[in-house]
Amino acid sequence: MTTSRETNWMNHPVLRKLVEDANKLTLAERITLVKGLIPAIANQLSPREYEGFVAEIQLKGERFHEAQSQKGEGRAARQVPGERDLEGR
């Protein structure tokens, strides 16, 4: 998890605890949890906003895989933009 100006209002310690607890679940259980959250998220977003949300999730995964494959090379060497890049930080 990262922090940004868009998430400054959140209680990060509580969210981090939720994420830590969720990560103790099996992979199948975590996938089921994420799938269970999707309808409520989609319900509160327009179709265009939901598309953007899905793109953010995909980018997060791509960024993770790229970082894992380039350990020790630093952020500057990566091709997939990160949240900081997209937000102009």
Q: Is residue 1 part of a domain?
A: no
Q: Are residues 57 and 72 in the same domain?
A: yes
Both tokens of 63, joined, read 């960024």
Q: Please tell me whether the overall predicted TM-score, pTM, comes out greater than 0.95 for this model.
A: no
Question: Domain check: are 86 and 51 in the same one?
Answer: yes
> Where in the sequence is the domain holding 67, given as residue range(s)?
46-89
Count the alpha carbons within 13 Å of 5 in the hemisphere toward its beta carbon. 5
Please tell me the total count of domains within the chain. 2
Token readout for 22 is 């969720």
**22 belongs to a structural domain:** yes
Of 78, 80, 42, nearest in space to 61 by CA: 80
In the chain, what is the greatest distance between 2 CA atoms, to the nearest angstrom? Answer: 40
Do both 40 and 52 map to the same domain?
Answer: no
Local confidence pLDDT in tens for the 89 residues of the chain: 556 677 777 778 888 899 999 999 999 999 999 999 999 999 999 999 999 999 999 998 988 888 787 776 666 665 665 555 555 55
Please tell me the distance from the alpha carbon of residue 54 to that of residue 37, in angstroms, as a whole number: 13
Instruction: Verify that 13 and 39 share a domain, yes or no.
Output: yes
Is residue 39 in some structural domain? Answer: yes
